[in-house]
C-alpha cells in the first residue's frame, strides 16, 4: 500500500513537472495554455494545503478583527477632516450592498468611538490598540508570505516601523479619496449627460464604470500586497497576473457569499443582534485565504521550472548532501593526487 501511494505521488508530481516545464509542448497553443493553467491551479492548491495557509489565514483573521474597527474609525476621522464622511460611509456600505448589517454595525461602533473622544480624533488607548493591531497584522502577513516564498529573514525592526507606518497613514487617505472620487464622478457624469442629452447612454456608462471600479481597486491592492509584503524581490508581471486572478476570485466569492447570505439565518437564530460579528469573521477568513492562495500563484509562476525537483526530493535531501560531499572529495583528490 505504501509503495502504491509513493508511485501515485511520483506520477502526480511527474505530471506537474511535465506540464510546468519550459520545453513542454503539445499539439496546439490553446491546449498547452489550458493544461498549464490547470497545472498551476492544482499545484497552487496543493501547496496551499501543504503550507498550512488556512492556519495563517486564521491568525490574520484574528488580527484583522482587532484592527478593523480602529482602522475604520481612523479613516472616518480623516474623512470628517476633509468633509467627506458621508461619501465614505456610503461607499463602505456599497461594498456590502447585499448584507449591510455588518458594515452598519462597524460604522455605528466607529462613530461612537469618535463621538466619545475630544476633537473627533482617536486618543489614548485607542491609538495604542490601533498601532499594535495594524502592525501585528502586517507583520503576520509578511511572515505568512515569506513562509510561502521560503524566505527565512524578514524586515528589520526599523524597516518594519517605517514601511508599516507609511501604509497606516497613506492608505486611509487613499480610501477617502477613492470614495469621494466615486461620488464626484457619478455627480459630474450625470450632470454632463443631462446637459448634452446623453442620459440614456450615460446610465450604461456609469453602470459599467461602477462595476469595474471595485475590481480595479482590488487588483491594485492585491498586486501591491504581492510585491510589497514579501521580503524578496517579486517581478511586477507575476504579481500582476496573480493579483488579477486572486482579486477576481475574491470579488466572485464575495458576491456569492453576500448574494446568497451564507449562514445568515443560522447566525441570526443563535447570535441575534450579534450575528454581524461571526459573519465578519467568516468573510475575513475567506478573504485572507484567497490572498494567501494568490501568493502561492505568484510563487509558482516565478519558480515553476524548479517545483518538480523540490517536491520530489523533499524527503530525500540526503541524496544532495552525498552528492555535494562526493564532489568536494573529488575536487580535493584532484588537487593533491
**Helical residues (DSSP H) of 260-316, grouped into ranges:** 264-271, 276-303, 307-312
**What is the rounded CA–CA span in Å between residue 58 and residue 41?**
22
**What is the rounded CA–CA span in Å between residue 308 and residue 319?**
16
Q: Which residue has the higher pLDDT, 13 or 218?
A: 218
pLDDT of residue 76: 76
Give helix then strand counts, H and E, for the chain.
13, 0
Region of residue 286 (left: phi > 0; alpha: psi -120 to 50; beta: else): alpha
pLDDT tens, 217-276?
888 889 988 998 898 888 999 999 999 999 999 888 877 776 665 555 555 556 555 666
Going from N- to C-terminal start, the domains of the chain cover 1-50+306-337, 54-303
pLDDT tens, 47-67?
888 888 889 999 888 888 877
Residues sharing a CB contact under 8 Å with residue 230, sequence separation 6 or more, in sequence order: 142, 145, 146, 148, 149, 151, 295
pLDDT tens, 89-105?
776 666 665 456 667 77
* The three cell numbers locating residue 109: 461602533
pLDDT tens, 116-148?
665 445 555 666 777 777 788 888 889 999 999
pLDDT tens, 153-162?
888 888 888 8
* The three cell numbers locating residue 282: 467568516
* pLDDT > 70 fraction of the chain, expressed in percent and rounded: 55
Distance separating the N- and C-terminal Cα atoms of the chain = 49
At what angle are helices 199-228 and 157-196 packed, to 10 degrees?
A: 170
The mean of the pLDDT values for the chain is: 72
**What is the rounded CA–CA span in Å between residue 82 and residue 315?**
58
* The three cell numbers locating residue 173: 487617505
pLDDT tens, 286-310?
989 999 999 999 998 888 766 654 5
SS (H, E, C) 148-185: HHCCCCCCCHHHHHHHHHHHHHHHHHHHHHHHHHHHHH
**What is the rounded CA–CA span in Å between residue 102 and residue 250?**
18
* The three cell numbers locating residue 96: 456590502
**What is the rounded CA–CA span in Å between residue 128 and residue 117?**
15
Q: Tell me if 284 sits within 8 A of 64, measured CB to CB.
A: yes
Amino acid at each position: 500500500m505504501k509503495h502504491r501511494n509513493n508511485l501515485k505521488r511520483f506520477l502526480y508530481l511527474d505530471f506537474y513537472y511535465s506540464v510546468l516545464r519550459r520545453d513542454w509542448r503539445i499539439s496546439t497553443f490553446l491546449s498547452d495554455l489550458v493544461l498549464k493553467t490547470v497545472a498551476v491551479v492544482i499545484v497552487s492548491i496543493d501547496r496551499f494545503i501543504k503550507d498550512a495557509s488556512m492556519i495563517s489565514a486564521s491568525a490574520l483573521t484574528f488580527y484583522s478583527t482587532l484592527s478593523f474597527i480602529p482602522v475604520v474609525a481612523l479613516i472616518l476621522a480623516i474623512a470628517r477632516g476633509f468633509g467627506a464622511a458621508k461619501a465614505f460611509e456610503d461607499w463602505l456600505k456599497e461594498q456590502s450592498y447585499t448584507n449591510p448589517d455588518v458594515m452598519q454595525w462597524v460604522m455605528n461602533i466607529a462613530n461612537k468611538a469618535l463621538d466619545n473622544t475630544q476633537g473627533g480624533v482617536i486618543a489614548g488607548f485607542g491609538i495604542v490598540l490601533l498601532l499594535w493591531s495594524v502592525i501585528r497584522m502586517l507583520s503576520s502577513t509578511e511572515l505568512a508570505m515569506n513562509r510561502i516564498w521560503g524566505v527565512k529573514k524578514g524586515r528589520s525592526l526599523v524597516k518594519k516601523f517605517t514601511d508599516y507606518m507609511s501604509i497606516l497613514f497613506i492608505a486611509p487617505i487613499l480610501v477617502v479619496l477613492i470614495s469621494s472620487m466615486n461620488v464626484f464622478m457619478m455627480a459630474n457624469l450625470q450632470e454632463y449627460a443631462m446637459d448634452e442629452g446623453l442620459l440614456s447612454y450615460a446610465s450604461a456608462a456609469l453602470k459599467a464604470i461602477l462595476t469595474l471600479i471595485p475590481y480595479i481597486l482590488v487588483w491594485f491592492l492585491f498586486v501591491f500586497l504581492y510585491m510589497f509584503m514579501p521580503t524578496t524581490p517579486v517581478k511586477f508581471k507575476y504579481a500582476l497576473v496573480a493579483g488579477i486572478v486572486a482579486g477576481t476570485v475574491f470579488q466572485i466569492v464575495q458576491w456569492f457569499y453576500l448574494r446568497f447570505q451564507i449562514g445568515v439565518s443560522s447566525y441570526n437564530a443563535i447570535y441575534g443582534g450579534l450575528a454581524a460579528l461571526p459573519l465578519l469573521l467568516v468573510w475575513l477568513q475567506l478573504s485572507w485565504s484567497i490572498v494567501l492562495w494568490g501568493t502561492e500563484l505568484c510563487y509558482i509562476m516565478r519558480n515553476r521550472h524548479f517545483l518538480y525537483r523540490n517536491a520530489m526530493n523533499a524527503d530525500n535531501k540526503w541524496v544532495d548532501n552525498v552528492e555535494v560531499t562526493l564532489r568536494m572529495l573529488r575536487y580535493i583528490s584532484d588537487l593533491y593526487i
